[in-house]
Amino acid sequence: MVFGSIVTSPRSSLSPRQTLDLAKAYLEVAYHAIDPDVALVLCHDTEISLHQAKKAVKRAEDQNVIKDIAVTYIDLGNLLEKRDHAKEAKVSYKKAEKLGYVGKSFSLLIDRQDRMEERTSSNLCYTSIV
């Protein structure tokens, strides 16, 4: 079989930016995955890549990459929430918070979710009255 000879390269040989790009690629595919199990595996691969990037970038102290890692953790949390994995989403949000980039990104995310919930509950009240 041809695929038996293909060996994947280890993430450790990638720069923090490349590892972050890999995490974003996994996450993008996970967003579009129809099969929930495949999406969850891709979320796990995203988490592994983010962890690797975070470890490497802390030594380099590249604030731009750290910020992008935090934003990607928030995006991962959003996807996990959409896929009914609230507990795992909270862990992802906490990791963004530990990187110190909760601020506007996280606040806007929470405000947006609160507004969506308010609209949903308003619509539910409205539809139940009608």
SS (HEC) of the chain: CHHHHCCCCCHHHCCHHHHHHHHHHHHHHHHHCCCHHHHHHHHHHHHHHHHHHHHHHHHHCCHHHHHHHHHHHHHHHHHHHHCCCHHHHHHHHHHHHHCCCCHHHHHHHHHHHHHHHHHHHHHHHHHHHC
For the chain, 130 residues long, give each residue's pLDDT as a single digit of tens. 344 445 555 666 788 899 999 999 999 999 999 999 999 999 999 999 999 888 888 776 778 888 899 999 999 999 999 999 999 999 999 999 888 766 444 545 555 555 555 554 444 443 333 3
pTM for this predicted structure: 0.68
Name the amino acid, one letter, at 22.
L
Residues 27, 28, 33: CA angle, nearest 5 degrees: 90
Contact 90, 60 (CB under 8 A): no
* pLDDT in the model for residue 75: 92
* pLDDT in the model for residue 128: 36
* pLDDT in the model for residue 87: 92
* pLDDT in the model for residue 55: 85
